[in-house]
Chains A and B, each alone.
Chain A
Amino acid sequence: LIGTEGIIYLATLLLTLTVVGRAGDAGFLNGAFQRGFAGVSTQVVSANFLLSYTNFETFLRACLEGMLGFSGYLYLASLGLLLVVWISNLVEYRQAIV
């Protein structure tokens, strides 16, 4: 459960950093408070949406526990690659999605 929630929090964090970064580049959210408030709000809303209103977490757990067999592990590998790429982008370009 912690593993699947961790994946969701990480993915939403990366998306949040991208959204706030893009907004900053476009001339919005100039103040630190504004950026912080927008980032926390986006993170909380998107993570809660995924955890409470979708079955994405259940799907991830099913993949992790082997209920979906090879296809589940293949999806986890792809998702892991996506997160690695986004983290790498964040380090190199200061935004996850370039």
Chain B
Amino acid sequence: MPFAVAIITNAGSSSEGEYQDSISFPNPAYPPFSSTYVNNGGDNYSSYYSDNRAFVSEERGSNPNFPCSLGGTPSDNCFLLSPSSTLVGSTPMTSLEIEQTHYFNNNTAYVGSSGDGPFTWSLNSWFFSELIENEEAIDKFRFSFFDQAVDYNCGASIFENISWTGSLTFIYDNDTLTFSDFAFQGSNKIEYVYRSVQHGFVQTCHVGLVVEFDLTAFETLELDTFVQDWNWTLIEVELDNFEREDFLPFADTPLPFAGTDEFQLGVEHQPVNSAEAGFLIKTGTIILAVLTFVLAIASTNYWDPFRNAVKGALD
């Protein structure tokens, strides 16, 4: 029975295709929702920040009386994610440049640690806009976070093997659908080759994370039923429980989104044909239900198909 289940689910999740860009050029004039920071890393603030600045903590400004940064922007603006530019070509996928966890401060009060989570972003349709067709079902989402500010030698000791957890929440029509308990292992290094006008093909390594949410076939179907219009959907991405695999404290391990500058976020998806996947899974489940029913009857003394078959052959 478990093997039959595996065959059914694999038949409905046959996406072997390539990732497609989810981000297109944002149109800031018509965002259906605002993109916001929900959580930015946990206990990673110096006392100066706690006393003199506001930052995002558990979906609200830590202190409404203080500005986010020197210069005095209202603390509520700490929430907003405003992509400053769309990058095409210099990153492996189309990406948006957005603010890191802390605001720049001339008094250098940023504590300098990453925090081990949670980091949560609520992303509006700028990040997946019309590039996801409404009739498509999604098999995988891949989020690539990278900090292009510094190029590192790919063997640099700044890169560590780490593990973390993640969840995806979809918000549509005032309802939410969450897929949680994703566990990840990897490195805080992102390595790729890009084409530079001046230097040709360039191999580069940055502090980065690649996070692939591989939905089960059932989750794909559930998501397809839940989201009716991607333009009116928010995706909340949460990464949490960051740990180093050498079990040293995580605080000094760089993460691409921790800091006072900006980082790049690429979002990609792998679609599947929802009608085909749904048909295969549901038909397979009906067949399995019938076979299980037959097995139940055959487990009684009233009908023994094996004995009947043998008896029929002997007769």
Contacts and interface: CB of A to CB of B under 8 A. Distances in A.
Interface of A: 49-50, 54-56, 58-59, 61-63, 65, 67-69, 71-72, 74-75, 77-79, 81-82, 84-86, 89, 96-98
B5 A59 contact: yes
Given A67-B218, A78-B296, A98-B299, 15 more contacts: A56-B2, A59-B5, A59-B9, A71-B285, A71-B289, A72-B285, A74-B286, A75-B285, A75-B286, A78-B289, A78-B293, A82-B296, A82-B299, A85-B300, A97-B299
A31 B183 CA distance: 44
Contact of A85 (B5, B281, B286, B296): B296
A60 to B, nearest CB: 9
Interface in B276-315: 281-283, 285-286, 288-290, 292-293, 295-297, 299-301
Given A55-B6, A78-B290, A79-B292, A71 B299 contact: no
A38 to B, nearest CB: 21
B286 A67 contact: no
B38 to A, nearest CB: 25
Interface string B158-185: 0000000000000000000000000000
Contact of B1 (A56, A61, A85, A97): A56
A26 to B, nearest CB: 18
B221 interface: yes
A18 B296 CA distance: 15
| SS of B interface (majority) | helix
B287 to A, nearest CB: 9
Given A55-B9, A97-B299, A71 B2 contact: no
Nearest to B3: A54
A52 to B, nearest CB: 11
Pairs of residues from A and B, 6 with the lowest C-beta to C-beta distance, nearest first: A62-B218, A78-B292, A75-B289, A82-B296, A71-B285, A54-B2
Contacts of A65: 222
B216 interface: yes
A65 B219 CA distance: 11
Nearest to B288: A75
26 contacts: A50-B2, A56-B1, A56-B2, A58-B9, A59-B5, A59-B9, A61-B218, A62-B218, A67-B218, A67-B221, A71-B282, A74-B286, A74-B289, A78-B293, A81-B292, A81-B296, A82-B295, A82-B299, A84-B296, A85-B296, A85-B299, A85-B300, A86-B299, A96-B299, A97-B299, A98-B300
